[in-house]
């Protein structure tokens, strides 16, 4: 065990955890934020996507020791009432079906839109590598374009 201090959603946390503990488990089990989901455990599906210093990052394989001194943002940081533009677009375009992957999808889309406020379909395809088993990719792309138009 090691004492590690991290900042999640603007709040500092000092934790006694193994330095190789994945960030996902720290977020969920130690801090108690459950919006970030476990999917595959090998950083392929993207359900665990969070922002590390503004970059969309898969948290299921990232050791906690790699994020000390960095700003970590989870889905809970966007809004409490679904008022964030990406969340509003997701609702308007009826993106979620089962909903399991959506927090990771939204975090990936938010990071994309921060870098590229008006992305092309190709830029969306390149950035949105998260897996949606329900296949709502067309709706995801429509929601991202909706945010770009409203910006």
Q: Are residues 51 and 112 in the same domain?
A: no
Q: What is the CATH number of the domain that holds 73?
A: 3.10.20.30
Q: Are residues 6 and 69 in the same domain?
A: yes
pLDDT of residue 89: 98
- Of 77, 103, 122, the residue that ends a domain is 77
pLDDT of residue 13: 97
**C-beta of residue 96 within 8 angstroms of C-beta of residue 47:** no
Sequential pLDDT tens for the chain (151 residues) = 899 999 999 999 999 999 999 999 999 999 999 999 999 999 999 999 999 999 999 999 999 999 999 999 999 999 999 999 999 999 999 999 998 999 999 999 999 999 999 999 999 999 999 999 999 999 999 999 999 999 8
pLDDT of residue 25: 98
pLDDT of residue 21: 98
Q: What is the pTM of this model?
A: 0.96
Q: Are residues 70 and 15 in the same domain?
A: yes
Domains in the chain, number = 2
Q: What is the CATH number of the domain that holds 126?
A: 1.10.150.120
Q: Find the domain containing 14 and state its range.
A: 2-77
What tokens does 6 get? Answer: 């991290």
- Of 26, 56, 77, the residue that ends a domain is 77
**C-beta of residue 67 within 8 angstroms of C-beta of residue 1:** no
Q: Are residues 40 and 58 in the same domain?
A: yes
pLDDT of residue 123: 98
């Amino acid at each position: 065990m090691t004492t590690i201090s991290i900042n999640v959603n603007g709040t500092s946390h000092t934790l006694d955890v193994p330095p190789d503990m994945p960030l996902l488990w720290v977020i969920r089990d130690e801090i108690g934020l459950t919006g970030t989901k476990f999917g595959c455990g090998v950083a392929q599906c993207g359900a665990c996507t969070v922002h590390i210093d503004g970059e969309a990052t898969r948290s299921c394989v990232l050791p906690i020791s790699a994020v000390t001194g960095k700003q970590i943002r989870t889905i809970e940081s966007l809004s409490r009432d679904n008022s964030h533009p990406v969340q509003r677009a997701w609702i308007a375009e009826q993106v979620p079906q089962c909903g399991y992957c959506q927090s990771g999808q939204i975090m990936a889309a938010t990071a994309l839109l921060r870098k590229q406020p008006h992305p092309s379909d190709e830029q969306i395809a390149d950035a949105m590598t998260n897996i949606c088993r329900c296949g709502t990719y067309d709706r995801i792309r429509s929601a991202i374009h909706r945010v770009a138009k409203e910006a």
